[in-house]
Structure 1
Amino acid sequence: MNIKLVVVGKLKEKYFKAGIDEYSKRLSRFCKFRIIEVPDEKAPESLSESEMQDVMDKEGTRILDKIADKEYVYALAILGKERASEEFAKEIDKLATYGHSDITFVIGGSLGLAPKVLKRADTQISFGRFTLPHQLMRLVLTEQIYRAFMINEGSPYHK
């Protein structure tokens, strides 16, 4: 199984990188896991609605360039469906069982995801209505993917 994160922007904080590296290493026994960073669009602090749409559109094009047609795509979106860890684990297991061996998760930039990215997604997932820094979300998502594999394995890690 191949699991990929397509994310906007670079990971800056060393402590996030260390956590993600640890979970990536743990995930290596279950899947090929990788993170692809696409550049964020530089923008001033205050943007008009059309400028915001332009920024999201440019970032969206960069994201879509990294996704193949055969990939099953989860878009992280505040309005997406919330799942319990066990439910998420069952989804991952079911996808693998029914021929979706390439799964991609997308984390947008500070303005969110362009409509064209949400349209391409097979499903939207939410980790709640909190706004979290995108770098922290990478760590949380990576841990939850690892947790899903551990649940599916019947490991006590989840408890």
Structure 2
Amino acid sequence: MAMRVHICAVGRLRSGPERDLLDDYLSRFDKTGRALGLGPVKVHEVEDRKGGGMGAEAKLLEGVLPKGAVICTMDERGKVMSSPEFAQTLARRRDNGASDLAFVIGGADGIDPSLRGQADFSISFGQMVWPHMLVRVMLSEQLYRAASILSGSPYHRA
């Protein structure tokens, strides 16, 4: 059984270089991951038009999380892991029967503590703060890299 992957993010990624990179890596992940029981990836974008801050963003994000999904928040307080560790984390969640894995990317102020508290795990791309649009691109590249590692492709060089 395949584990579907969801990127649940605050903000709309308009056309441009970040969108092109995101689409490219997600398309590569879908192709490589299919044989591994990973994917497809669906991107869910939410926008808080009323300026309600993190609390309002958390409610919107909760609204797009698939029921019963394993939740991973992208958070500077999360675990920093190597690409092979990330690949093994995906494989372990898939092998444990997760049907949906949702990565949550907050807005400019991060992820509301109420939503952070619901996470099954949390990962960080380091202590630096990254724009949420770039985090999407970095996550999509790491998803593709993870699928490449799991498939034995030479894309990842340790």
TM-score by length of structure 1 reads: 0.89
Partner of 1:59: 57
SS of equivalent to 1:28: helix
**CA deviation profile, 1:13-47 (whole Å, cap 9, x unmatched):** 5000100111111122222111010003554xxxx
CA contact (8 A) 1:41 1:55 kept: no
Structure number with bigger Rg: 1
Contact residue 75 and residue 105 of structure 1 kept, 8 A: yes
Distance 2:65 2:14 in 1: 24
Q: Secondary structure at the match of 1:128?
A: coil
Contact 1:8 1:59 in 2 (8 A): yes
Higher mean alpha-carbon deviation, 5-14 vs 132-141, is at 5-14
Opposite residue 19 of structure 2, the aligned amino acid is K
Is this contact kept in 1: 2:66–2:100, CA < 8 A? no
Q: Would you identify which runs of 4 or more consecutive aligned residues in structure 1 move more than 2 Å?
A: 40-43
Q: Which residue of 2 is the match for residue 99 of structure 1?
A: 97
137-146 or 21-30: bigger deviation: 21-30
2:114 corresponds to: 116
- The separation in 2 between residues aligned to 1:137 and 1:102, in whole angstroms, is 20
Which whole-Å deviations, capped at 9, do the CAs of 1:40-75 have from their partners, x for residues lacking one?
A: 3554xxxxxxxxxx5110000000111133100110
2:137 to 102, 123, 139: 139
**Structure 2 residues without counterparts, runs of 5 or longer:** 34-38
The partner residue of 1:5 within 7, 10, 14 is 7
Write out aligned runs for 1:42-81 (5 A). 43=51, 54-81=52-79
What is the identity percentage for the equivalent residue pairs of Structure 1 and Structure 2?
34
Distance in 2, matches of 1:63 and 1:84, equals 27
TM-score normalised by length of structure 2 = 0.90
What number of residue pairs does the alignment pair up? 149
Residue 17 of structure 2 corresponds to 15
- Please state whether the residue corresponding to 1:25 is helix, strand or coil: helix
**Is 1:37 the counterpart of 2:45 in the alignment?**
yes
The whole-number CA distance in structure 2 between the counterparts of 1:13 and 1:137 is 16
SS at match of 1:16: helix
Label 1:41 to 1:77 Cα distance change in 2 as closer, same or farther (>3 A).
farther
Structure-2 residue corresponding to 1:46: none
CA contact (8 A) 2:48 2:60 kept: no
